[in-house]
Amino acid sequence: MKLLVFAHTPPPHHGQSYMIQLMLNGFGGDQRKAARSAAAAQNPYGLECYHVNARVSKRMDDIGGLRPGKVLLLLGYCFQAIWCRYRYGVTTMYYVPAPGKRSALYRDWMVMALCRPFFKKVILHWHAAGLGNWLETHVQMRARTMTFRRMGAVDLSIVLSDYSKGDASKFLPKAITLVNNGIPDPCPDFDRAILPRRSARLAARLKLADGGKLAAGDLAGTGGDPQMLRILYVAHCTRDKGLFDSVHGVRLANEQLRATGSPFSLELVVIGQFMDPAERQEFDALVAHPELQKSIKFLGYVTTEAKFRAFAEADLFCFPSYYQNENQPANLIEAIAFGLPALTTRWRGIPEIFPRDYAYFVGVRAPDQVAAKLLQSLGAREPATLYRQKFLQNFVLEQHLRALADAIRTTEA
């Protein structure tokens, strides 16, 4: 089956562009490029992808902005898609709808108006959540009607969560299929390289929590500082992704630990880029406070290897997000792949990643709850394999690609 993939890949790097890149790689890459190569990629999924890399922003801070150059780029991408339709006989178009932003919505109108008439089948993959509710609360009826005309009644809508089925269903597609995201296993040597250290640190913390003292044997394999809970934040450094709630939560928890004479302390490692200069200034001023200088480490943008090393060395992942378009974040999937408990929110599609009785949910904009859960985690006894198993059962890349290909091929029937 031939598939026109109208979506951009990194850069800029974010969850959606990353998943598109994984999908293309898994399905054999862009066949226009493969046709010119003697080493054309083969894949077992029965799909041939013809990729229109519809990138209109080169940097994260340019996403969502309006400028004439983007319109010209988008026109070129649309004509490229139409050319692929006739040059390669591609009759099915795959497209990722916009989140709740006006400029992105106008992009969807333009692409659907120009391209949809030329393709027999259209598939929408809903990576972002919240468009349906946003249309009902933030735009006028005329814009809402235009959106439904351009994007309604497609042949298939693919969603990441039950929550996002609500967005897809408002557009009355012929079919809706849920397909979890999936990533390459970031730590295939988990049992040998990560689990022993994490188990040793857990055992040492439990002994301290029970009032015991650590002997030399208790410190073996822990990295030397099991009394410090290492907390990791990996995401864009924005308020609505939970950065400031994480910082304030760590501050409040450390204050309580010091007040009670506890042997424990908390350290937050922050990996990511700031999108707003004002938020960067606020963060710098906050962590300059003497109480936070030793407990907050900002690493900024790092390599994949450095990021995975931080995951391996962490004891807990912190991501109290209330980002309006959050759906199924790749960073949470990475965290459970490393066997980390993840302190997060019941926001959008996030709860579906975890069990119903999950112990580390907090409210949005609630640093006091973040602090309480961080303190609770010091005496937690869940083994790292509990979270690792959740990843292996639901979010491995091969499972994702197989389910995604099966869903796409249903449109041939």
pLDDT in tens, 121-146: 999 999 999 898 899 889 899 999 99
* 201 Cβ contact partners less than 8 Å away, ≥ 6 residues apart: 222, 223, 226, 315
Residues 119 and 245 in one domain: no
pLDDT digits (tens, 9 = 90+) for 173-231: 999 999 999 999 999 999 999 999 999 999 999 999 999 999 999 999 999 899 999 99
Rg (Cα) of the chain, in Å, rounded?
23
Q: What is the residue-wise DSSP string for 372-388? A: HHHHHHTT----HHHHH
Tell me: the pLDDT tens digits for 229-283? Answer: 999 999 999 999 999 999 999 999 999 999 999 999 999 999 999 999 999 999 9
Domain identity same for 246 and 158: no
Task: Indicate if 172 and 195 belong to the same structural domain.
Answer: no
Assess whether 358 and 213 both reside in one domain: yes
Give the model's pLDDT for residue 65.
55
Residue of higher predicted confidence among 238 and 68:
238
Q: Give pLDDT, residue 53.
A: 96
Please give the Cα distance from 251 to 261 (Å, whole number).
15
Give how many domains the chain has, as a whole number.
2
Q: What gap in Å lies between CA 393 and CA 182, rounded to an integer? A: 11
Q: Indicate whether 230 and 161 sit together in one domain.
A: no
If residue 31 lies in a helix (H) or strand (E), which one and from where to where?
helix 31-34
* Pairing between β-strand 296-300 and β-strand 48-52 as defined by DSSP bridges: unpaired
Q: Where do we find the tokens 């974040």?
A: 329
Residue 404 and residue 322 share a domain: no
Q: For 45-83, give one letter per residue: b (16+ CB within 10 A) or e.
A: bebbbbbbebebbeebeebeeeeeebeeebeebbebbbe
Same domain for 222 and 104? no
- Tell me, yes or no, whether 160 and 265 share the same domain: no
Same domain, 304 and 290: yes
Specify the CATH number for the domain of residue 340.
Answer: 3.40.50.2000
- The structure tokens 């070129």 sit at 76
Paired tokens of 300? 């900024």
pLDDT band at 12 (very low <50, low <70, confident <90, very high): confident
pLDDT at 38 over 50: no
The reply to whether 207 and 168 lie within a common domain is no
Judge if 231 and 313 occupy the same domain.
yes
Enter the pTM of the model. 0.93
Q: Could you tell me the residue range of the domain that residue 356 belongs to?
A: 190-394
Residues 11 and 158 in one domain: yes
- What pLDDT does 40 receive? 45
